Amino acid sequence: MDKKKSVLTNFIIALVLFLLPLRHVNQGLDISDTGYSLTNFKWFGALEFPWHYSIAGANMVGKLLMGLPFGNTWIGINLYCSILISLFSLVVYFFLIKKIPVWCAALGLIIAQMLCWCPQVILYNYLTYIFLGLGTVIIITALDKGNDGNKKAEGILFVSAGFMLGAETLVRMANLSHMALILLVWFNGLLKKQSVREIIRKTGICLAGYVIGLGFAVVLMHIGTPSGLSGFINMLGWLGNVTQTADSYSPVAMLLSPFADYLDALRWMLPFVLVSLLAVLFRKILERVLKHELTGNISRIYVVLYVLFQLLILRILYGRGMFGLDYNEYFSFIRPAGWLVGAGLVAGLAVLVIKDDRISDSDRLLALAAVIAILIVPLGSNNRSYPAYNNLFIAGPVIIYLIHRLPPRRAEYRAVTIILLTLITIQSVGFGSTFVFRDSSASEKRDTKIENSDILTAMKTGRTRAREINELVDLTRKNGYSSRSGIFYGDIAGLSYALDIPSEMHGVWVSLESYNWKQWNDEMGRIVYESMNGNYPVIFIAKDYMKYPNDELKRESLKDFMEDSGYVTVLENDLLTVYDVK
């Protein structure tokens, strides 16, 4: 009976974990980041901007998914990318329940899925998380096999993990940092008191797989991209320039800015900790006065009063701005999630060094895996701690397990842990069930469909955006813009995909600082030359294009071209202005 109950429980949890990432497949039309990824997939091979080479593997997978039935629709590609996240979550779940309680694995993964603020089609992020997570699962499984004496299985798994981590550099160059997973091999050797020779042997097997994976990535880059290895080499130089000119992409900023967020979140948790310590001290004083431990009704009254006092503190901190209840905003979860991750780092590092019979070698390996995931995922991003919150698939369940396992089994500590875990659960579920990236508003529901567009069929957005995009769809059909090319200036790169209009430039998001003046000037020179033969692109300029203060030269260049060529306004709304020649 217990076995049947366990199977049913796992089936229900697995079904929930599979379905949750699909919750918003028909919701939201973000024409900046989300649509930009779709544009990269659709025209991969035609766009030559170095960014496309730095995430070539993600674009290749996206291009492949677009070739599947309904893959060239927004809802179709949303569905396929979401299923990747669903399947990955199931792999992690069935791996973790062998090592931690089912409820820790389930709750941690549900929180992880609901905190996925990043659009599911931004594959260079989610493939990074998937490769890192699967690499962790495979390496720990290999270590388990080796500890049990199965050297053959251990070797095959080490090579597989190494290959995966080497090949994933094609997804994003920053994934070179995933080599840090070799620390799991070294730490296991330390725990098991293995010889240096044995640790070196295992490291060598992993490294062999990694080199093979890197070779595979190089070959695929060479045969699968227009400029091959020369484009890859140019991309490396471009990445170097970006990190020098953009402060948020500097290695120091990427390492330190997440910790500023964690420390800010932990600062808000201090009142709970202090009250817990004072409550423990008060109990001890009370027991000394009474000359016996608190039991029965006295103990229950004490615990109830303590919990009520902690809830009062929670209410006060909410009023002072610790979090919000508008789940269309990041603010609703950012500090509770920061507490979870910050506490997880502290607990994870503590598990690595403290001696306690309750902590097994398996627990220590999981703690190290969680710490590695939290520390390395923000590398390559200028989004501070947000990538860590978006990738709690391994770390989330492990953190909850450590928080459950480590503290003393006193009512005071248990109560405050339950309160804070309940808080992050409620906030993450509220956020995840409501928020859609750059198409979320408390004042406007996403209940309006786009008309007359095969690509956008079945997608829902707010009334205002639906009206604006419907106008663009009608204009594109009426004037035959899909048979021409366009220039998209401002945060509207996704219109290229949504309207099925290829970019005249080799990049789509040309207003970004990373698309430098030399690249722009070279492209505009070609466009001016081709316009002499009557080849004029349609020009789309976002209303918020002035937000890029360093792009004055680009704006003046585009303005001069439009004036010299006789461009006129053919449509204007709150989103953008469309220009075409008379």
pLDDT in tens, 343-389: 889 888 888 888 877 789 999 999 999 999 999 998 877 788 899 99
pLDDT digits (tens, 9 = 90+) for 105-118: 999 999 999 999 99
User: In the structure, what pLDDT confidence band is assigned to residue 416 with cuts at 50, 70 and 90?
Assistant: confident
**pLDDT surpasses 60 at 247:** no
Mean pLDDT of 425-452: 91
Of 340, 375, 369, nearest to 352 (Cα)? 369
pLDDT at 539 (0 to 100): 96
User: In the structure, what pLDDT confidence band is assigned to residue 132 with cuts at 50, 70 and 90?
Assistant: very high
**pLDDT surpasses 90 at 73:** yes
What is the reported pTM? 0.91
User: In the structure, what pLDDT confidence band is assigned to residue 480 with cuts at 50, 70 and 90?
Assistant: very high
**pLDDT surpasses 60 at 326:** yes
Buried b (16+ CB within 10 A) or exposed e, 8-24: eebeebbeebbebbeeb
**pLDDT surpasses 60 at 1:** no
pLDDT at 144 (0 to 100): 93
Query: Six-digit token pair at 510?
Result: 């040309």
**pLDDT surpasses 70 at 32:** yes
**pLDDT surpasses 70 at 236:** no
**pLDDT surpasses 90 at 237:** no
Mean pLDDT of 91-102: 96
Distance, in Å, from the CA atom of 498 to the CA atom of 501, rounded to the nearest integer, reads: 8
pLDDT at 291 (0 to 100): 72
Query: Six-digit token pair at 118?
Result: 């990043």
Distance, in Å, from the CA atom of 333 to the CA atom of 326, rounded to the nearest integer, reads: 10
Distance, in Å, from the CA atom of 30 to the CA atom of 118, rounded to the nearest integer, reads: 11
Question: Crossing angle, helix 361-376 and helix 182-191, to 10 degrees?
Answer: 150
Which residues lie below 8 Å from residue 374, measured CB to CB, with a gap of 6+?
Answer: 341, 344, 345, 348, 388, 395
pLDDT at 191 (0 to 100): 92
pLDDT digits (tens, 9 = 90+) for 203-233: 999 999 999 999 988 888 777 776 666 666 6
Q: What is the dihedral of CA 511, 115, 18, 144, to 10 degrees?
A: 110
**pLDDT surpasses 90 at 273:** no
pLDDT at 245 (0 to 100): 53
pLDDT at 51 (0 to 100): 65
**pLDDT surpasses 60 at 187:** yes
How many angstroms separate the Cα of 396 from the Cα of each of 97, 104, 111, 150, 520?
A: 13, 9, 7, 30, 43
pLDDT at 547 (0 to 100): 63
pLDDT at 50 (0 to 100): 64
Buried b (16+ CB within 10 A) or exposed e, 242-268: beeeeeebbeebbeebbeebbeebbeb
**pLDDT surpasses 70 at 249:** no
pLDDT at 115 (0 to 100): 96
Percent of the chain with pLDDT over 70: 92
